[in-house]
Structure 1
């Protein structure tokens, strides 16, 4: 097996474990596990004699010649052969593309916000390896929300959002329009951040041994440790065949870095036991009025103990209701269980990110640390009601697994997404103006003629409502504003910022096989995105070029249908 660049110093970790003897004794009395050297021992193993030393390793096999590099787009190179990756073993919980809704029958759209970005980084990983991602791995809203947009800043924390709405002609269909709804959260100043009680839960099982897993975990969490303040506390729990504490609560960055550096991979994956122990440690160190969060770093390949996603969701929901949230960081390829990672983060009132490079680790846990850790609003829901006098049909691009019932919007017992400091949320609706051709043709028994305007509100295209709770609140607050119908007739060109968001949405929907994009090509997506000065946006344009080089031309039978 190829070893990672970060090997375990057994003697040093044994010294660290000895320094935590009182905590280990407490765990042992409770029937838990003990950390010894580089391994995590369960109760049955403690009384067993020490194992014989392993035989010396075999000489390494000669290195194969590096594959030729092929330039697939300006500035981006990938190996000339497909890198080892088996998406067939990876697990995704994809949803069908959102359906079309007729406003006369379904004028109201309700969904929970989503600030996850993992689907974008995972899509980038596939493309960088010279493969198109599986359709189920692409979530349109996560690709859109990976980027920041030019929304107005909220002025005060008590009103933690601004809401921006605008409209443009749909780039792939001149008969429809794109309605953008943008939220921007309050930027919490460093002095106003609450103290944080964080438990790093690190998977050190054998499946984490490759270079794109445990070494990146160490880089990501080491970077986060450097961003913490004197009032914050960090603990580290690891799990393989069993789970154990390797670092009790501390605010010493050096101790955190040293503990992380000494970890190595080996054994099976008792992720459920690791979660239970991490939550217990978070409860023991609970900070009233602070951030209490478990940060799980794994490839999601649980194979010992509690591994069923539903059982894990039940666990994290109980802990969420008691004030401990969960963030998941996904790593690696081949056996990656993204379906579990994304779902338990959503139910744990945290966020999900996929770390495919040290640069992404810095972005998520360094540059965006405040948004990742510090919640400014919880249970955030959006509801849009369309005026049938102005809009005949609509569809929401993405958010399929965030859809809520109309009655859920005002029900404060229904859980929804949380938003961190400075987070942004963007949603795009494709709408058909009244009188224009739509995706759904006229019905035989439908009354002819245009629908009457909403009484007293003929100048409104739609009405947008937002519900949220403050972090320590139990009753939601309401923000509402109309979208003027005059936007339908404005002839101004869309802002470059809006054009870029539309390009990202078109890219995601193309990868998902959206049948309503017409013959809009990836080359047109690149042109729509335009020239970009931001590094991350430049990378997006290059990735579209990679996908263009990999995508087969559609057959006549596969070409999408047009509007009727």
Structure 2
């Protein structure tokens, strides 16, 4: 009986033991030959006539591992798990996995800019929060997110901040604040925070709402984290509806259907029953669904009310018009009718996040990602008024830095919201909307005058000269920056302008002297840049973000900041 080959060598036994088996066969033949050759000479006739006995050769024992050890170099394995020097068709079995076709919009981090050459920075406000929830999904399953899934502004703006809102009697619908403190990753650099707080509006004071739920019920929506989650989320929203509100339900898969025409918000059972009947199957005709949803919105339009389509999908469009440019053109054209377009993204492997964000941005809506029912509760219940009610449209910001006090600057995030200098004053250029009670935060890293910069000066340009007044005094020497904000009242086509100066402090304040909201936003921005693998934060790590955030939790009514700490600590243990 031959000793079994050890399991660890089974896949490679033919090439390793072939020489041993060949030698064994030769040995057996030799033993048999010797047995016949050396028969006794003095044998009787009967003995010679008797059949020869069968000779069974006992095979030699299998070589020990010690004897095989010298052959170890021949078993060297390369980086592809194949034995070096051997040629064969296949290696160890690898289980097949579904291809991950998730799509994210690519972008590069904002670069450093010299104030002497580019003093202006212009961008659109953004209240989307989808990036944070999607990043959380990756971290919770033990993975760091793809670089382009991390957008710093959405990470920062995911959290609410206790900024002071507009005072009674203020004509503008939001307040603006600015504060400066040292950057945690480079203490010689400053962080300039620009904070906006929309006025609060009670749910009872909101105008009537005409909401069209546009739900993807194609086959790709069948997993528990897709259609079943969407159905539960929509029921949370239905619970917030008032009798004056209207709800419609439109679905799309291989075809489209109006499952529920405009129904009063008081008929919650009827609406929920319609939601319960939704089943996933078929392909995805998203373009036809969008057209039908807008048609339904027009049919139930409420003049002076909140008219909005809420698209819930994984973004996997594969029937009809699937070109993102054509879909964006469709949403842009319908936006002019006064109907907003918001998106609720779900799903994983085939999730088209790039399309979900772009459609919401173009449709004057907001983009959210639902990874859990708790996130749905945050978006559709806790932030009900800010998600639906717009208090300022097309909000743009433009910051002019003073070369007398600032050497260089960079905007953290908002790469996909950048505007040109001319677009700031062009009322035809669309920008972000701000909802009731919304907070918007933007952070600039600034290098003060006299501190070494990151960008070389130009050779052939004039030497830097500060602006000088006719009287010969340096103009506005006590100012760090000039901030301008443009916005439109809902329904207006003409923008309004707000402008104010940020004073230059005598010395750069330490970060620990800033308020807790400033410090927490800084921790989030630092973590977002760390997740993106940014080279602009030196050795700042996830652990540094934890240290700052832990001392700046402040008001954490819903536990979002505590969860942030858990996620950052977990991310520090994951490999890139």
**TM > 0.5:** yes
**Counterpart Cα distance in 2 of 1:85 and 1:483:** 54
Matched, 1:539 2:563: yes
**1:381-438 CA distances to partner (integer Å, 9 max, x unpaired)?**
0010000000010000000000000111111111101111111100000000011111
Q: State the match for 1:250 in structure 2.
A: 263
Q: State the match for 1:556 in structure 2.
A: none
Given the alignment, which residue of 73, 89, 108 partners 2:120?
Answer: 108
CA drift at 1:150: 2.1
- Number of paired residues? 469
Q: Per the alignment, in what secondary structure is the counterpart of residue 175 of structure 1?
A: strand
Alignment of 1:146-165 (within 5 A): 146-155=158-167, 158-165=171-178
CA drift at 1:237: 0.3
8 A contact 1:87–1:134 mirrored in 2: no
CA drift at 1:453: 6.4
Given the alignment, which residue of 484, 487, 499 partners 1:468?
Answer: 487
**Counterpart Cα distance in 1 of 2:139 and 2:363:** 30
Q: 295-304 vs 455-464, which deviates more?
A: 455-464
Q: State the match for 1:359 in structure 2.
A: 374
Distance 1:256 1:548, change over 3 A: same
Alignment of 1:222-301 (within 5 A): 222-251=235-264, 252-301=267-316
CA drift at 1:196: 0.7
Given the alignment, which residue of 324, 327, 331 partners 1:309?
Answer: 324
**Counterpart Cα distance in 2 of 1:381 and 1:245:** 37
**Counterpart Cα distance in 1 of 2:304 and 2:182:** 46
Give TM-score, length-normalised by structure 2.
Answer: 0.79
CA drift at 1:341: 0.2
8 A contact 1:175–1:437 mirrored in 2: no
Given the alignment, which residue of 431, 436, 443 partners 1:428?
Answer: 443
Q: Per the alignment, in what secondary structure is the counterpart of residue 381 of structure 1?
A: strand
**1:441-499 CA distances to partner (integer Å, 9 max, x unpaired)?**
34444555774568531111001111100102111111111100026444671222211
**Counterpart Cα distance in 1 of 2:99 and 2:127:** 25
**Counterpart Cα distance in 1 of 2:538 and 2:97:** 32
CA drift at 1:158: 3.9
**1:3-46 CA distances to partner (integer Å, 9 max, x unpaired)?**
xxxxxxxxxxxxxxxxxxxxxxxxxxxxxxxxxxxxxxxxxxxx
8 A contact 1:298–1:331 mirrored in 2: yes
Larger gyration radius, structure 1 or structure 2: 2
Q: State the match for 2:403 in structure 1.
A: 388
Matched, 1:212 2:220: no
Matched, 1:129 2:152: no
**Counterpart Cα distance in 1 of 2:109 and 2:246:** 42
CA drift at 1:233: 0.3
**Counterpart Cα distance in 2 of 1:335 and 1:449:** 52
Q: State the match for 1:50 in structure 2.
A: none
**1:103-122 CA distances to partner (integer Å, 9 max, x unpaired)?**
01110100000000000000
Matched, 1:195 2:208: yes
Q: Per the alignment, in what secondary structure is the counterpart of residue 505 of structure 2?
A: helix
Distance 1:86 1:383, change over 3 A: farther
Q: Per the alignment, in what secondary structure is the counterpart of residue 572 of structure 2?
A: helix
Distance 1:485 1:453, change over 3 A: farther
8 A contact 1:388–1:453 mirrored in 2: no
Q: State the match for 1:511 in structure 2.
A: 531
Q: Per the alignment, in what secondary structure is the counterpart of residue 479 of structure 1?
A: strand
**Counterpart Cα distance in 2 of 1:323 and 1:257:** 27
CA drift at 1:229: 1.1
8 A contact 1:387–1:453 mirrored in 2: no
Distance 1:164 1:242, change over 3 A: same
Q: 154-163 vs 301-310, which deviates more?
A: 154-163
Given the alignment, which residue of 516, 539, 543 partners 1:496?
Answer: 516
**Counterpart Cα distance in 2 of 1:477 and 1:149:** 25
Give TM-score, length-normalised by structure 1.
Answer: 0.81
8 A contact 1:196–1:292 mirrored in 2: yes
8 A contact 2:361–2:367 mirrored in 1: yes
Q: State the match for 2:503 in structure 1.
A: 484
**Counterpart Cα distance in 1 of 2:99 and 2:529:** 20
Q: Per the alignment, in what secondary structure is the counterpart of residue 186 of structure 2?
A: coil
Distance 1:399 1:486, change over 3 A: same
CA drift at 1:86: 6.7
Q: Per the alignment, in what secondary structure is the counterpart of residue 379 of structure 1?
A: strand
**Counterpart Cα distance in 2 of 1:488 and 1:265:** 61
Matched, 1:338 2:353: yes
Q: Per the alignment, in what secondary structure is the counterpart of residue 201 of structure 2?
A: coil
CA drift at 1:300: 0.4
**Counterpart Cα distance in 2 of 1:158 and 1:220:** 36
The Cα RMSD (Å) is 1.7
**Counterpart Cα distance in 2 of 1:97 and 1:300:** 26
Q: Per the alignment, in what secondary structure is the counterpart of residue 176 of structure 1?
A: strand
Matched, 1:522 2:542: yes
**Counterpart Cα distance in 1 of 2:416 and 2:192:** 20
**Counterpart Cα distance in 1 of 2:97 and 2:477:** 55
CA drift at 1:546: 1.3
8 A contact 1:167–1:488 mirrored in 2: no
8 A contact 2:116–2:464 mirrored in 1: no
CA drift at 1:522: 1.3
**Counterpart Cα distance in 2 of 1:243 and 1:140:** 37
